[in-house]
Structure 1
Amino acid sequence: MGPPRAASPAGAAVDATAGVRVTVSDRYVEIKNGIFELMLSNPDGIVTGVRYNGVDNLMEILNKEDNRGYWDLVWNPPGKKTGIFDVIKGTEFRIIYHDENQAEVSFTRNWDPSLEGKAVPLNIDKRFIVLRGSSGFYTYGIYEHKEGWPDFGLGETRVAFKLRKDKFHYMALADDRQRIMPMPDDRLPPRGQPLAYPEAVLLVDPINPDLRGEVDDKYQYSYEDQYNNVHGWMSFDPPIGFWQITPSDEFRTGGPLKQNLTSHVGPTTLAVS
């Protein structure tokens, strides 16, 4: 997210020195630090809301809560080539650590033999961290496969954020790769015409007429992992950004030349392994 400001457009004061607070209810876990507020579903661990700079929610409020900010994976049992898509939802919540300077929370989902063939044989622990004085949050996952559990293939695992289409229209991947983007509505008939495969759409009658005749395809925004350090979206009213920042490449597979998805029309931003 963007840098902290002295006050939000709505007039709510921002206190960059405030301590980190955690509020837990039956349905939500709310973490705030005086700069922004992170709302997570309890015990699923889905990012249902991010409040910042006077905007009540940077996530797409038109989407269902479990389709805003989430971890997912694609896996397959032995002998099957078709991957199974799974949005990872926790079943148990706990606070790992909390004081005025830091909060770390956990959402876990454990596997047992009764789930064989139905769920990926992993214990999964999704973590979220908020620090004092920071305008963003950290997230990481711990995947555990115990001895004797079934083999499986893991095609990919991701963190996906779907932002508000009424605010985020400008996308940036690098100094020389940034632009005003089409709207998601532009990809649907009659504004968009499907091409050879589902991801590629000809913009026949886009909302922004300057984009007429272009082809939108999320794969054209792929980036080699060695350069894929930060990408995201900007809003001009109010002036804020939402950025996916990669602290290291240790979780990635395929080497520095592998191309992965970054951000694309949605507005969507991804971290892919």
Structure 2
Amino acid sequence: MPHLGVQLLVQDRHVVMDNGLLQVTLSNPDGIVTGIRFSGIDNLLEVLNDESNRGYWDLVWNAAGSTGTTGIFDVIRGTSFKVIVETEEQVEVSFTRTWDSSQEGKLVPLNIDKRFVMLRGSSGFYSYAIYEHLKEWPGFNLGETRIAFKLRKDKFHYMVAADNRQRFMPLPDDRVPPRGQPLAYPEAVKLVKPVEPDFKGEVDDKYQYSIENKDNKVHGWICMDPAVGFWQITPSDEFRSGGPVKQNLTSHVGPTTLAMFLSAHYSGEDLVPKIGAGEAWKKMTLFRFGRTLNRRC
């Protein structure tokens, strides 16, 4: 029987949120999602990956004055943990990273607060982040920020990007030589000897599954045995860059699920925020990850 209410267990290295339906484990104080237990599956995330490479916020940044869309890749790790709300109805936890001048050139000049929320009776959880730049800090460019979840490749084989864009997917192993043949750019790979012969001759490219912001509401993966869906749900696109017709990545071979908040994909440098020295700036992003039984879009 599921227990009543939401429970929070704080350990030296992990924080566990549990509402009887769903259990989410985060590293302490990093704030990286290391485990998601649901519907008899001990962990929906890829157990073969290191704990730091399962469910995480990241960003790409560069110093002020830099050009282009590439930069320094940073998996955001908190340095401090705090409980914001702890009741039977709701648990909210915070993992923060505070910037100071000793980190100049090493970390993006932002205070970052990653939050995770679980509600009573819900088969999903929420996450949001608050990025804050103080006006006395140096400027920077922010090329991309997102959250990524890497699911178990032995469980999740069917991907849904939209009602009319859903299918069984190749394995990540199929992208690696000799099963896969790299093409003109790293994201595009021809499947020459896939594990499942039906995929032979296909080109796999994560950009094939991009969606305009206005249509990017729900996407994710389905495990057939047991019947479990892993869904990234976004109630609004107002915090995404580029407006309603800007395209962003969704899910792709991995099996990987992305919540993209800001990127230069399909647009270039014009959409890269350039925060100047002397400029105060603050941004908040929000999404929900839900799990459902016996559902196919």
Residues 1:145 and 2:145 aligned together: no
Which residue number corresponds to residue 19 of structure 1? 5
- Unpaired segments of 5 or more residues in structure 1? 1-12
Task: Give the aligned residue type for 1:85.
Answer: F
Residues 1:108 and 2:96 aligned together: yes
Aligned ranges 1:206-245 → 2 under 5 Å: 206-245=194-233
Which residue number corresponds to residue 177 of structure 2? 189
Larger RCO (alpha carbons 8 Å, 6+ apart): 2
How much is the aligned-residue C-alpha RMSD, in angstroms? 0.8
User: How far apart, in 1, do the equivalents of 2:73 and 2:232 lie?
Assistant: 22
Which residue number corresponds to residue 201 of structure 1? 189
- Unpaired segments of 5 or more residues in structure 2? 262-297
Shift of 1:117: 1.0
Shift of 1:113: 0.4
Aligned ranges 1:1-273 → 2 under 5 Å: 13=1, 15=2, 18-81=4-67, 82-273=70-261
Question: Structure 1, residues 216-246: CA drift from partner, whole Å, max 9, x if none?
Answer: 0001110000100000000001110100000
User: How far apart, in 2, do the equivalents of 1:175 and 1:61 lie?
Assistant: 29
% of aligned pairs identical? 70
Shift of 1:250: 2.3
Number of residue pairs matched? 259
Provide the secondary structure at the position in 1 that maps to 2:214.
Answer: coil
Q: TM-score, length-normalised on structure 1?
A: 0.94
Task: Give the aligned residue type for 1:232.
Answer: G
Q: TM-score, length-normalised on structure 2?
A: 0.86
Shift of 1:148: 1.1
Q: Give structure 1 regions of 4+ aligned residues with deviation exceeding 6 angstroms.
A: none
